[in-house]
Amino acid sequence: MKKPYLRFMITGILISAALIYFEADPGFLYADQATVKTRQLNLAEKGSDLYGKYCSMCHGANGKGYLADEASALSNQDFLKSASDDYIIQGILRGRPGTPMSAWGKEQGGILTIEDAQAILSFFRTWQKEPSVDLSNAAANGKAENGGNAENGAKLFEQWCAACHGKYGAGGKAIKLNNPIFLETASDNFIRYTIENGRRNTAMSAYKNILSATDTNDVVAYIRTLNADNSFKETVAVDNEELSKVIRERGVLNPGNPPADFSVIDNRFVAADDVYAAYKAEQSFIIIDARPTSDYLRSHITGAISIPFYDIKNAVGLLPKDIWLITYCVCPHALSGRAANQLKAADYDKVAILNEGFVFWQKKGYPSESSINSQLPKD
Ligand code: HEC
Ligand code: HEC
């Protein structure tokens, strides 16, 4: 008895829905600016909710970034004006495999629809105060298509970029550049723009006064060769030759002089004062800068050689075992400690870590050199 009534009601609802639809549609077509704005605001509001729920714990409520390591500043003006809508949406949906940045898209097993990602994008755009620059070009799909010289780019990258982005762009202190999704979705122009202009108020500085346009293009070509899968194959070949030359030619301090002998604290550390004493007495030993080479290029203990902690295994067999090896970094033990551990594991007994680290050494006025100016390319 109640059924016909129900059916009538449903039909009624459907008819009104259709009426509303057909009435609303032309309204939408002729919507004035204000309506469009309201719709955008609604979208941004939805995006803001989603962002608060899923993203802010790493990228920060205001998009300043770095609540999680390497979670970049998404409200950064240089990022927002240079990143295309597509780059950001793909970034959200597909993430950065192998990093804390998950793929959030439903199709990838996440929870966000494309509409959700668009809402988040439109929330991001409310942060943007400066006009976008069009940097789209054909996504290069990981291939070097820009005609740059990747070999030269590799050298420049090692010198200027690896300290933060890691050797082979595999990350470290900053966002990874060898990520397949990044390489697929970032245009050459976007990468070039970022190198030239940097990202204000982040560690990413502008390189346009340091690298020439050709150099920048070479670096882009090199970044195009990076690939999380083949990063390691190249490590050994490139480095061993270089390393054995460095160790042979200028590894040992005061070669031929009586060897230094250190008293070691906790079987691991040696005091900076003791190292300096041996230094002053012109005894022979080796000082190893365990930081990434670009840090070394900026400044280092005079006479130290650069063997980044991630390369130290390549130096096993090349370094002598009969004189002391002192490793250091800034931290003061994190990197130097890793380097020392690896050497000890390879049966080096005379290994110690500079206890107070490089900053203390510099503060004491012990000999160090800064070579940043001599490293600037002349162009
Ligand atoms: C667990 C921490 C974490 C969460 C949660 C997270 N991210 Fe990320 N995000 C990262 C990290 C780390 C990176 C950099 C990854 C790399 O090294 O390439 C990143 C990168 C990105 C990038 C690329 C930026 C660029 O410069 O290329 C975008 C866009 C992004 N995140 C958006 C989001 C959005 C939107 C959400 C929420 C839906 C989110 N992230 C949630 C950690 C996180
Ligand atoms: C002192 C550390 C540091 C150095 C050195 C450095 N970068 Fe960066 N770079 C960063 C940080 C941090 C970011 C992310 C900034 C942000 O939050 O947007 C970044 C971002 C980038 C991005 C954008 C990546 C993305 O997913 O959005 C590119 C491309 C890049 N750097 C290339 C380079 C190149 C090439 C060099 C050398 C010429 C270099 N960087 C040197 C710290 C550094």
Q: Is 90's C-beta closer than 6 angstroms to any atom of ligand 2? A: no
Q: Is 195's C-beta closer than 6 angstroms to any atom of ligand 2? A: yes
CB of 185 closer than 8 Å to CB of 89:
no
| Residue 233 falls inside a structural domain | no
CATH number at residue 158: 1.10.760.10
Asked if residue 251 and residue 310 are part of one domain, the reply reads yes
- Higher local confidence (pLDDT), 97 or 212: 212
Q: Rounded to the nearest whole angstrom, what is the distance from the C-alpha of residue 58 to the centroid of ligand 1? A: 8
Point out the ligand nearest to the CA of residue 91: 1
- Higher local confidence (pLDDT), 74 or 134: 74
Residue 271 token pair = 């005091």
| Residue 20 falls inside a structural domain | no
Q: CA-CA distance, 337 to 292, in Å (whole number)?
A: 14
Q: Rounded to the nearest whole angstrom, what is the distance from the C-alpha of residue 83 to the centroid of ligand 2? A: 14
Q: How many residues does the chain have?
A: 379
| Residue 56 falls inside a structural domain | yes
- Higher local confidence (pLDDT), 99 or 247: 247
Q: CA-CA distance, 214 to 209, in Å (whole number)?
A: 12
Asked if residue 251 and residue 212 are part of one domain, the reply reads no
- Higher local confidence (pLDDT), 373 or 124: 124
Residue bearing the CA closest to ligand 2, atom 7: 204
* DSSP-H helix ranges across 55-149: 56-59, 77-82, 85-94, 114-127
Asked if residue 53 and residue 93 are part of one domain, the reply reads yes
Asked if residue 41 and residue 100 are part of one domain, the reply reads yes
Asked if residue 254 and residue 188 are part of one domain, the reply reads no
Q: Which residue bears the tokens 């060769």?
A: 225
- Entry pTM: 0.61
Give the Å distances, CA to CA, from 147 to 140, 151, 173, 189, 256.
12, 12, 29, 13, 49
Asked if residue 190 and residue 166 are part of one domain, the reply reads yes
What digits encode the pLDDT tens for the residues 359-375? Answer: 899 999 999 987 543 33
Which sign does the torsion angle of CA 192, 193, 197, 199 carry? negative
| Residue 9 falls inside a structural domain | no
pLDDT value for 85: 95
Q: Is 104's C-beta closer than 6 angstroms to any atom of ligand 1? A: yes
CB of 313 closer than 8 Å to CB of 343:
no
Q: Is 54's C-beta closer than 6 angstroms to any atom of ligand 1? A: yes
| Residue 13 falls inside a structural domain | no
* Residue 222 neighbours by CB under 8 Å, 6+ apart: 148, 150, 151, 152, 153, 154, 156, 157
* Residue 115 neighbours by CB under 8 Å, 6+ apart: none
Asked if residue 370 and residue 244 are part of one domain, the reply reads yes
**DSSP state, residue 64:** -
Q: Is 165's C-beta closer than 6 angstroms to any atom of ligand 2? A: yes
Least confident segment among 133-142, 198-207, 291-300: 133-142
Asked if residue 257 and residue 176 are part of one domain, the reply reads no
CB of 174 closer than 8 Å to CB of 165:
yes
pLDDT value for 208: 95
Residue bearing the CA closest to ligand 1, atom 41: 55
Q: Where among 170, 195, 225 does a domain terminate?
A: 225
pLDDT value for 126: 96
Over 50: is that where the pLDDT of 26 sits? no
Over 50: is that where the pLDDT of 161 sits? yes
Q: How many domains does the chain divide into?
A: 3
Over 60: is that where the pLDDT of 153 sits? yes
Average confidence (pLDDT) over 247-261: 90
Q: Domain containing 45: what range? A: 37-127
Asked if residue 202 and residue 267 are part of one domain, the reply reads no
Q: How confident is the model at residue 78 (pLDDT cuts 50, 70, 90)?
A: very high
Q: Is 202's C-beta closer than 6 angstroms to any atom of ligand 2? A: yes
Asked if residue 91 and residue 62 are part of one domain, the reply reads yes
What digits encode the pLDDT tens for the residues 268-316? Answer: 999 999 999 999 999 999 999 987 665 677 689 999 998 887 778 888 8
Asked if residue 189 and residue 83 are part of one domain, the reply reads no
Asked if residue 332 and residue 273 are part of one domain, the reply reads yes
CB of 174 closer than 8 Å to CB of 164:
yes
What digits encode the pLDDT tens for the residues 27-61? Answer: 455 556 777 778 777 999 999 999 998 889 889 99
| Residue 261 falls inside a structural domain | yes
Q: CA-CA distance, 289 to 326, in Å (whole number)?
A: 9
